[in-house]
Every structure is written in structure tokens, then in C-alpha cells.
């Protein structure tokens, strides 16, 4: 997962909204979003990384959401443990216990950002943050492949559009999902003078600079939309993409918490 916008208690119809793009190599084996039960913990709605295990975004029946993004580092060493286990760990324990464990073994993972979200707020942790572990309160946030709210052009572009869409959203989850899906297909690149320097080279920075990445070998593989309505209705949409941004399967889930 490489780009996430989320809102906590910013729209009276939808106390929690999450919109995310997952970027990955198309050759990496993946199972689409569905219900399954991790080795520890309750059932989750999540995709599955079939290479290293785990997931990039998970949702509980109660409407809690956890997600992880990589921190882009040009010369990063592989971690001893897969970052895909982190969203599941975040659901299986309280944040104080998890933070204590991560503080002791932060270097076991390559650079990551982890969020846990609910209607009462959220929690964010990065092993590349000087002061890891913080609680999040009502607001609209963006997260890409650097620290929370780092003003990369793609994050600013999506967060701005996401904010305007939420300001106008009424009570229809379907309509909101359709609008957010369109936002997340934005392939507009950032100008060179606004690109970050993360050690991967200018050409790669350009390629990765749009909210939606269109490529043949690497690109946006899934767009995930989550809304929790004021009455407790949960709607989830996952749109899968193939090389060249070819639309693949659409999966939709709806339940009452």
C-alpha cells in the first residue's frame, strides 16, 4: 500500500472513511480481498500477500482498519520480518503492547508506516520516525511512502481532492465510493521541481509521483475504499488493476456492525 487518505469524524454521515492505492510489482502473487482468519486473532477482510504472507490493509467486522506502507529508501536492506504481518499484529493487541514490542525490535523490519483506525480516533507508528507512536484524533490525514502527512505532491493532491469530496458527500455510500474511485485513478505526475529525493533516481521519482501509477511491470494493483456510516453500515470496495492500468475484478462487501 503506497498512498492512503483517511478521515476521522469529518463528515456527519461517515465518521470513518479510508481510500487507498496499493502499488506493487504485478508479478508478486496476491489474493484479492476476502474474509479469512489469521493464525492469531479474529477474522478479517483483507487481501493476502502470497509471497511473504500477511496483508497491506485489513478490516475487522467492527469496522476497525489497519494498513501499512513502505518507507521509500534507495538502499534499504531487506528486513528480517515481513511488514505484511504488521496490520494483523495491530489488530491482535492493544497499541501500548504493540508499541513496546516494536520499540524493541524496530530494526527487524524495513522502513514502514502503520496506522490503526476507528471512529474514536487512530494510532500511527513508523520505525523511521524520531518519536514513533502517536495517537490521532479527528481530522483528515494522508500517508504515502514517507512519514504521516509528509507533503509529497501526490499526497497533497489526493488529500485536497479527498477533503473536497467529503465536504460535499451526503448519505450515499455508493455515490461516495464512485467519487473516491475516480480520485484515486489520477495519473497526473508532479513537476520535477516538486519531486522528493529518496535515493531512487529522478526517472523513478517521476514515475512514482502520481497518485495512481500506470506501468507494465510495477504500478497500482488495487484501489480500496472503506466507509463506515453513522448508522453502523460498512461498505468496502476493492478494484483490482493489471499492467497498463487495465481494470480487473471489482469486489464489494457490505454489512452492519
Domain parsing of the chain, residue ranges: 3-256
Mean pLDDT value across the chain: 95
What is the H or E stretch that residue 30 is in?
A: strand 30-36
**pLDDT number for residue 39:** 87
Calculate ∠ Cα 34-57-28, nearest 5°. Answer: 80
Query: Does 211 have pLDDT greater than 90?
Result: yes
Among 208, 200, 169, which residue's Cα sits nearest to residue 14? 169
**pLDDT number for residue 107:** 87
Q: Where are the alpha helices (DSSP H) in 64-212?
A: 86-92, 95-104, 153-168, 173-183, 202-207
Query: Does 77 have pLDDT greater than 80?
Result: no
In the chain, % of residues over pLDDT 70: 99
Query: Does 241 have pLDDT greater than 80?
Result: yes
In 10 A of CB 95, how many CB atoms? 17
- How far apart, in whole angstroms, are the C-alpha atoms of residue 86 and residue 72? 17
Higher confidence at residue 17 or residue 106?
17
Confidence of residue 79 (pLDDT cuts 50, 70, 90): confident
Please return the burial class of 137, using the count of CB atoms within 10 Å of its CB with bins 0-12, 13-18 and 19+.
Answer: exposed
CATH 3.60.60.10 matches 3-256: yes
- Give the predicted TM-score (pTM) of the model: 0.96
- Go through 1-29 and write b for each residue having 16 or more CB atoms within 10 A of its CB, e for each that does not: bbbbbbbbebbebbbbbbbbbbbbeeeee
**pLDDT number for residue 232:** 97
**pLDDT number for residue 1:** 65
Per-residue pLDDT reduced to its tens digit, 21-49: 999 999 999 999 999 999 878 999 999 99
Per-residue pLDDT reduced to its tens digit, 150-171: 999 999 999 999 999 999 999 9
Query: Does 82 have pLDDT greater than 70?
Result: yes
Strand 233-242 to 65-70 pairing: unpaired
In contact, 256 and 89? CB cutoff 8 Å: no
In 10 A of CB 227, how many CB atoms? 26
Residue 181: what are its φ and ψ, rounded to 5°?
-60, -40
**pLDDT number for residue 76:** 66
Amino acid at each position: 500500500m503506497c498512498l492512503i487518505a483517511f478521515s476521522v469524524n469529518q463528515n456527519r454521515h461517515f465518521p470513518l472513511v479510508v481510500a487507498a492505492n496499493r502499488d506493487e510489482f504485478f508479478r508478486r502473487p496476491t489474493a484479492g480481498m476476502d474474509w479469512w482468519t489469521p493464525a492469531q486473532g479474529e477474522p478479517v477482510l483483507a487481501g493476502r500477500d502470497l509471497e511473504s504472507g500477511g496483508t497491506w490493509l485489513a478490516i475487522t467486522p467492527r469496522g476497525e482498519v489497519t494498513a501499512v506502507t513502505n518507507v521509500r529508501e534507495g538502499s534499504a536492506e531487506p528486513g528480517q520480518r515481513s511488514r505484511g504481518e504488521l496490520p494483523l499484529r495491530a489488530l491482535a493487541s492493544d497499541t501500548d503492547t504493540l508499541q513496546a514490542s516494536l520499540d524493541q525490535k524496530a530494526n527487524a523490519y524495513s522502513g514502514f508506516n502503520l496506522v490503526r483506525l476507528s471512529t474514536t480516533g487512530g494510532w500511527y507508528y513508523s520505525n523511521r520516525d524520531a518519536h514513533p507512536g502517536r495517537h490521532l484524533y479527528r481530522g483528515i490525514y494522508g500517508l504515502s511512502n514517507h512519514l504521516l502527512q509528509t507533503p509529497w505532491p501526490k499526497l497533497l493532491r489526493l488529500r485536497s481532492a479527498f477533503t473536497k469530496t467529503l465536504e460535499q458527500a451526503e448519505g450515499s455510500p455508493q455515490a461516495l465510493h464512485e467519487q473516491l474511485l475516480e480520485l484515486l485513478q489520477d495519473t497526473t505526475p508532479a513537476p520535477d521541481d516538486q519531486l522528493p529525493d529518496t535515493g531512487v533516481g529522478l526517472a523513478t521519482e517521476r514515475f512514482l509521483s502520481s497518485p495512481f501509477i500506470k506501468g507494465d511491470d510495477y504500478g497500482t494493483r488495487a484501489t480500496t475504499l472503506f466507509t463506515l456510516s453513522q448508522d453502523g453500515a460498512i461498505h468496502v470496495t476493492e478494484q483490482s488493476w493489471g499492467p497498463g492500468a487495465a481494470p480487473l475484478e471489482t469486489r464489494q462487501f457490505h454489512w452492519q456492525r
